[in-house]
Amino acid sequence: MKYSGFKVIKEALTGHRGWGPAWRSPEPCSEYDYVVIGGGGHGLATAYYLAKEFKQSRIAVLEKGWIGGGNVGRNTTIIRSNYLLDGNEPFYEFSLKLWEGLEKELNYNAMVSQRGILNLIHSDAQRDAFVRRGNAMLLNGADADLLSKEQIQKRYPFLNTENARFPVKGGLAQHRGGTVRHDAVAWGYARAADSYGVDIIQNCEVTGFKIEKGVCLGVETTKGFIKAKTVGACVAGSSSRLMQMAGMRLPIESHVLQAFVSEGLKPLLPGVITFGAGHFYCSQSDKGGLVFGGDIDGYNSYAQRGNLPVVEDVCEGGMAIFPMLGRVRLLRMWGGIMDMSMDGSPIIDKTDISGLYFNGGWCYGGFKATPASGWVYAHLLATKEPHKTARSFRFDRFSKGLMIDEKGMGNQPNLH
Ligand SMILES: Cc1cc2nc3c(=O)[nH]c(=O)nc-3n(C[C@H](O)[C@H](O)[C@H](O)COP(=O)(O)OP(=O)(O)OC[C@H]3O[C@@H](n4cnc5c(N)ncnc54)[C@H](O)[C@@H]3O)c2cc1C
């Protein structure tokens, strides 16, 4: 069923009786060519690109809960490609380009809104670092714009640019960055993958792997054993727990990260703003709520809930730069589990077990990576070769000392 403006009007006039389910709910088959574990954004995107771009079939996505119940439906919805390092920037720019055409491609309104992202600069040293990053972005075909303090004051008059401790000295803007409605991304990919025959099986937890003589033969699940030629793990915050079942210990820790939404306000924030001296980032949703976040909770956990001291810490960061926030009521907040890798960058690689592949270590930043992560992981699963933008995301970079240690892009494991 194709979605269109015409269809919406037709259904509105005929009692909304023509809408079908967006995807099927099949029972699992006993065998697949590809089993993708985890029905988050990355798992669903992987299945979709496997079917669409790599013309593969007999694909299943196994999700222990429901589609959109993990981090894909819990994040602060920011997309951008403002990275510095060679291992990262081409990949995130590839992702941003995929976001730009995604709604048309999926025939789904994911509310991709390129309202821009602004990183505030608070010291001369930080300006030097941002200029360097902006140049790296331009060299990789991304957009970057260095704004002066005066330009920022004009565009964002509500910012406390004269803060005694954290004066604003400028900012690095990426005008193509922005926000996307997070759970709609999961639904859009699920619907599109289903239309290519992918089985999306919810309430089906993987509880073990069948591995014989170094070969993965399939997965044990709460719905029975499922044989598979290729198994792709893609469970974000649950990565260490899942891979432990295959006897692997990962360079990944799981931490809680919280997100916050205020009461609805009139349009106020034109785009995403990040505070460079503390840790605070904020955008305004189409419903009017300010959507913001800050640091991780600082202890290892698999619980999807956070603690109160971090609420105070994040709101303090917000108040330092947006003093007007003090008058706004906080409506709700929630937590998600972050798979923090030890250099802040992801891993998309084969494992030592034949037929078993891994995708994880996304830290704070996996939502913006969703389309590219799905594409390059599908490339790896289908061709057994890494995609050119993801060649550095290997396991052995830790043993070889080839870390992609992107400062300020997520994790600082030494602090937690
Ligand atoms: C509060 C918060 C704010 C964030 N903000 C941003 C942001 O603004 N921008 C950005 O780029 N990123 C952000 N992120 C990070 C981003 O959301 C994640 O990196 C990304 O969503 C992870 O990939 P995913 O969507 O596939 O994960 P998930 O949606 O978590 O998918 C993994 C799935 O695996 C399933 N699973 C786990 N174990 C099993 C099992 N044994 N069997 C079967 N299924 C299993 C889970 O139920 C889950 O549905 C944020 C994260 C949080 C928590």
Q: Is 260 in the pocket of ligand 1 (CB under 6 A)?
A: no
In this predicted structure, what is the pLDDT of residue 413? Answer: 53
Q: Is 227 left (phi over 0), alpha (psi -120 to 50) or beta?
A: beta
| Ligand 1 atom with the shortest distance to the CA of 256 | 53
CA of 38, closest atom in ligand 1: 34
Please give the pLDDT value at position 412: 58
pTM of the model: 0.96
Ligand 1 and 221: CB distance under 6 A: no
Q: Provide the pLDDT for residue 411.
A: 52
293 lines ligand 1 (CB under 6 A): yes
76 lines ligand 1 (CB under 6 A): yes
**Residue 364 near residue 410, CB atoms below 8 Å:** yes
CB 62 within 8 A of CB 201: yes
Pocket test for ligand 1, best of 78, 117, 235, 358 (most atoms within 8 A of CB): 235
Beta bridge partners of 334: 259
Q: How far apart are CA 381 and CA 60, in angstroms?
A: 13
Residue 410: CB within 6 Å of ligand 1?
Answer: no
Tens of pLDDT, residues 276-310: 888 899 999 999 999 999 988 888 899 888 899 99
What is the pLDDT, as a whole number, of residue 24?
Answer: 96
Q: Please give the helix or strand (H or E) that residue 11 lies within, else none.
A: helix 5-13
- Residues 86, 403: Cα–Cα separation, whole Å: 11
Report how far ligand 1's centroid is from the alpha carbon of 237 (Å): 6
Angle formed at CA 399 by CA 393 and CA 401, multiple of 5 degrees: 75
- pLDDT, tens digit (0-9, with 9 covering 90-100), for 233-284: 999 999 999 999 999 999 999 999 999 999 999 999 999 999 988 889 999 9
Residues in the chain, pLDDT under 50: 414, 416
Would the CB of 278 count as within 6 Å of ligand 1?
no
**What pLDDT shows up at residue 416?**
42
- Ligand 1 pocket member 237 (CB < 6 A): yes
Q: Which atom of ligand 1 is nearest to the CA of 369?
A: 11
**Minimum CA distance residue for ligand 1 atom 35:** 38
Single-letter amino acid, residue 252: I
